Structure 1
Amino acid sequence: MIRSLLIALCLPLIAAASVVAEPVKYTFSGVASGRADGSAFSQSSFLVEVLADTDDVVPINLTVSGQDFVIFAVQSQQASFSIDTVGSGMFTTDTLVFVNQTVGTAGFSQGTPTLPPTGQDVFALANGFFASYDLRSSTGLIPDPSPQVPATLEAIESTLGLILFTSLDGPATFQATVVPEPSSLALVGLPALIGVYWGRRRLRNRA
């Protein structure tokens, strides 16, 4: 009876974990100069945090001037920022996080993950780690000692007005943190539950 109950409890959890995607937070941090609602800021520490879902990561195979690029991108569900001399706010236009495996970069961009991609990159970090990363898993802090903004600059709408990063003025880092859904966490407890059952059964048999 108990064995059948355990199996009945396990199967829905395993099935749910196999189909439920997981929330993920992407974090970019560094030092930047630019303009916020028309006012300049210089060499200010910044933090950009993007909330998304691993199930929304899409591959984009792009060919430019005969060269193939393997790109993964994910639409932001929410994107916030904090700039020391400016304050904190939310980006209010469509944004995404991307990795370009071909050139080993990851970045934050305006637009949506379509083919061809829409919108303008805000900034990008380079590291050999990104050559095999697809945005679907957690990472440690991935550094870039000399990050860059694109040659063509475009401001991004936010709750604090238009934000424009004109340069990244020092090392920057990228980090991804996947947050397991409750169904995935429940699976962690299944071995303990099964262990208790079999332990009690052994004691009963010995008695």
Structure 2
Amino acid sequence: MTANFCAGVCATGNHKWDVVGNASEAAKIMFRTSLNNPGDPPGAVLSANMSVWMPMPHQRLFALMLNEELRSQWDVLSPGSAMQNMIRLSKSQDPGSLNAISLLRANATGGNANQNSVLVLQDSTTDVTGSLMVYAAVDVEAITVVMNGGDSSCVALLPSGFAIVPDCMAESKAGGEGGSLLTVGFQILVNDLPSSKINVESVNTVINLITRTVQGIKDVVHSNQQGRHISN
């Protein structure tokens, strides 16, 4: 899943990506067709990525992104409700490590049971050089089959996520704390027919999605900094 996310952001791997639009746009949009790829849903896939500077050290920004209570402010998979961490498998012997595989679920609100029909599989990795958080919506029935010993290749995933690297030259910009460069990446199945073409509406949808997500993260960062200033 993480390898597929990185391939979608960097246009690497075994997929052939075509750039949509021009390089002057804030978000880079690419297109590919998926057919007979294990673990990949068949159809037309749009990938969008955007990089922005954040006035916050990368480890603290990463911790904010992992905060399930704040997730509804930026994640379209968790609109208006906190995420519930159902399963967490640490990838480190350190009990306080943020390196983990998690299975999340949006808490249903207002009697909306449909929010429980989709779970989120997440992989988080961090060290002094940077942080990576990759996640994908998974069907409840499919993940149940895997948890019962079934073949994981039958689960179709289109991962999205974040890469965060420290900006070591930004101390003067962030009040002495330093900053970080955040890259947000999305992959979206816009049509289940591999032969289909990408239209302007699909491109505008993915641009609006990534723009709203980036703005939501900026709002979370701003609120966190305001709270720290008040407490100090």
Structure with more helix by fraction:
2
In our comparison, the structure showing a higher alpha carbon Rg is 1
